[in-house]
Amino acid sequence: MTRKMLIAAGLVALVAAIPGPAMSQFYKGKTVTMIINYPAGGPTDIEGRIIAQHLASHIPGKPTVIVKNMGGAGGMIGSNYLGEIAKPDGETFGFFTWNPVAELLGDPGMRVRFSDFTLLAGVENPVVVYMRKDTPPGINAATDIMKTKEFKALSLDSHNTNTIQQALSLDILGVKFKAVTGYRGLKEVETAILQNEGQLANSSLPGWRASIEPTMAKQGIVLPLWQVAPPGKGGTHPRSVAVPELPTFEEFYGMLNGGKKPSGIAYEAMRSAIDAQTAVFRTFFMPPKANKEAVTIMRAAINDLWKNKQFISDYAKVVKSDPVLVSGEDGEQIMTGLAKVKPEIKTFLRDYGNQLVKK
């Protein structure tokens, strides 16, 4: 029996241990709030609202599920609210883009660590890096980025995983750029790129497929450069099935360097941060010490949701790919893996984030 089959069997056993009537009564007549830790219209919000539309019908008792956006501080406002203010009664959960770098470095703005939350499940996502085609001297092919003199790379706060992996990848390639940080969410970054306040940015899959590709890319404003893919087996990073047309960062680097693979502390630091995020990009969190019955019910409901053909169809219409579910157990292992990151990598990431503020 495979690990996934064992996990599924375990879920069934847990649910079976709870009497049917008790399950249906727990959420009956209640309103469940899904907190999204980024502003409306952004990639996290796009994905979260599709899930919210379908989730209630999979929760025994069929509660009302409402969405509450709490963006700002690189997602910290929403996560701090869930950890400090929301009751652990099962009536509030978060659909977050989490920040592995904050977890690694113990960011003081993170008043509740992600590892202290109760992880219900997650969703795997690659990252797509894109650039304005009118960036001098002109970007007609992805490799033209190497001809640029300097450009502005827009992102979130300086110690956010999104920001650091983007800046590190550009430094590894050896291009000159100015990091412009501090945006509340990637939708604001997207708007700034459209207005030519900056020339390069990145987005998770929903933001790229649902917003950037059908507008800016198809209108010839931006060009996708590469994808930062989730980790595969044996330390590999194969192309995500969601964006098979785009080379990975490793492939792109090899195109420029005679087939060589990137290496060194900068690349190791980049991958230490982004591997954990792409492997479980979106996270379903309940507050610390959440009601155990609620956790069991919600884990089963999310697992059941992924079997709903209408949900998969609605998701695929927007994101152009089926959602990849990560079980709560597998997600917890990924998060726990951050504890194995070497101290020198943590120091490098902390210093690098501080330098970005001055860059």
DSSP one-letter string for 83-138: HHTS-SSSSEEEEEE--HHHHHHT-TT-SS-GGGSEEEEEEE--EEEEEETTSTT-
Q: Which two tokens stand for residue 141?
A: 């092919």
Residues 336 and 350 in one domain: no
- Domains: count for the chain: 2
At 260 the pLDDT is 96
Nearest by Cα to 227 from 211, 210, 242: 242
At 5 the pLDDT is 45
Given pLDDT bands bounded at 50, 70 and 90, which one contains residue 7?
very low
- Neighbouring CB atoms inside 10 A of 6's CB total 11
Residues 167 and 289 in one domain: no
- Neighbouring CB atoms inside 10 A of 60's CB total 19
Is the dihedral angle over the CA atoms 296, 297, 302, 304 positive or is it negative?
A: positive
Average pLDDT, the chain: 92
Given pLDDT bands bounded at 50, 70 and 90, which one contains residue 317?
very high
At 92 the pLDDT is 98
Residues 255 and 318 in one domain: no
Q: Is 320 helix (H, G, I), strand (E, B) or coil?
A: coil
Nearest by Cα to 156 from 196, 114, 202, 215: 202
At 273 the pLDDT is 85
CA distance 335 to 154: 27
| CATH number of domain containing 329 | 3.40.190.150
CA distance 250 to 237: 8
Residues 60 and 209 in one domain: no
Query: Domain limits at 23?
Result: 3-124+277-340
Residues in the chain: 359
Backbone φ and ψ of 301, nearest 5°: -65, -40
Q: 31-36 and 92-97 as β-strands: parallel, antiparallel, unpaired?
A: parallel
Residues 144 and 225 in one domain: yes
Q: Which two tokens stand for residue 20?
A: 């049917």
At 21 the pLDDT is 58
Residues 268 and 289 in one domain: no
Q: pLDDT for 193-238, tens place per residue?
A: 999 999 999 999 999 999 999 999 999 999 999 999 999 988 899 9
CA distance 157 to 183: 7
What is the layout of strands, in order, in the sheet containing 92-97? 64-69, 31-36, 92-97, 282-286, 118-124, 324-327
Check pLDDT > 70 for residue 22: no
CA distance 96 to 181: 20
Given pLDDT bands bounded at 50, 70 and 90, which one contains residue 6?
very low
CA distance 168 to 161: 10
Given pLDDT bands bounded at 50, 70 and 90, which one contains residue 20?
low
At 8 the pLDDT is 46
Nearest by Cα to 130 from 273, 252, 230: 252
Residues 159 and 287 in one domain: no
Given pLDDT bands bounded at 50, 70 and 90, which one contains residue 9?
very low
Least confident of 9-18, 31-40, 84-93, 185-194: 9-18
Residues 156 and 226 in one domain: yes
- Angle, helices 43-55 vs 186-194, to 10°: value is 130
Residues 161 and 246 in one domain: yes
| CATH number of domain containing 218 | 3.40.190.10
CA distance 48 to 117: 18
Residues 156 and 113 in one domain: no
Q: What mean pLDDT is predicted for residues 338-343? A: 92
Check pLDDT > 90 for residue 255: yes
Q: Which comes out higher in pLDDT, residue 331 or 10?
A: 331
At 356 the pLDDT is 84
At 358 the pLDDT is 63
- The residue assigned the tokens 């050896």 is 174
Residues 331 and 237 in one domain: no
Q: Between vectors from CA 124 to CA 298 and to CA 276, what angle results, nearest 5°? A: 105
Q: pLDDT for 291-308, tens place per residue?
A: 999 999 999 999 999 999
pLDDT > 70: what percent of the chain? 92
**What does pTM read for this prediction?**
0.90
Q: Which two tokens stand for residue 314?
A: 């609605």
Given pLDDT bands bounded at 50, 70 and 90, which one contains residue 73?
confident
Q: Which two tokens stand for residue 279?
A: 């492997």
CA distance 192 to 123: 27
Q: Which comes out higher in pLDDT, residue 74 or 95?
A: 95
Q: What mean pLDDT is predicted for residues 93-119? A: 94
Q: What mean pLDDT is predicted for residues 254-266? A: 96
CA distance 154 to 180: 5
CA distance 133 to 354: 30
- Neighbouring CB atoms inside 10 A of 39's CB total 18
Residues 23 and 151 in one domain: no
